[in-house]
Amino acid sequence: MLKTNLNHILSEEQYKKILQENENVMICCGRMGPMCIPVYQAMQELEKEYKHVKFYDMEFDIPDAKVIRNLPECKSFAGLPFTVYYKNGKVVKATSSIQTKEQIKQILDEYFGN
How far is 19 from 89, CA to CA, in rounded Å? 5
Q: Is the predicted pLDDT of residue 42 greater than 90, yes or no?
A: yes
Give the closest residue to 58 by CA, choosing from 4, 98, 24, 10: 10
Indicate if the pLDDT at residue 1 is higher than 90: no
Amino acid, res. 81: P
Please state the length of the chain: 114
CA separation for the pair 75, 84 (Å, rounded): 12
CATH superfamily membership of 7-112: Glutaredoxin (3.40.30.10)
pTM: 0.97
Q: Taking the C-alpha atoms of 96, 70, 34 and 48 in order, what is their torsion angle to the nearest 10 degrees? A: 70
pLDDT for the residue numbered 56: 98
What pLDDT is attached to residue 95? 98
Predicted confidence (pLDDT) per residue in 45-83, tens digit:
999 999 999 999 999 999 999 999 999 999 999 999 999
